[in-house]
Amino acid sequence: MIIFPAVDIRGGKCVRLLQGDYSKETVYSETPEEEALKWQNEGGEFLHLVDLDGAKEGHPVNLEAVERICKAINIPCELGGGIRNFKDAEAVLNTGVSRIILGTVACESPTLVEQLIEKFGAERIVVGIDAKNGKAATRGWLEATELDAVELAVKFSEMGVVRIIYTDIATDGMLSGPNCEAVANLCNKVKGCKIVASGGVSSVKDVKALKALNKENLEGAIVGKALYDGRVTLKELLDA
Residues belonging to the active site: 8, 130
For 99-152, the three-class secondary structure string (H helix, E strand, C coil) is EEEECHHHHHCHHHHHHHHHHHCHHHEEEEEEEECCEEEECCCCEEEEEEHHHH
Torsion angle in degrees (nearest 10) through CA of 57, 14, 205, 235: 140
Neighbours of 208 (CB within 10 A): 12
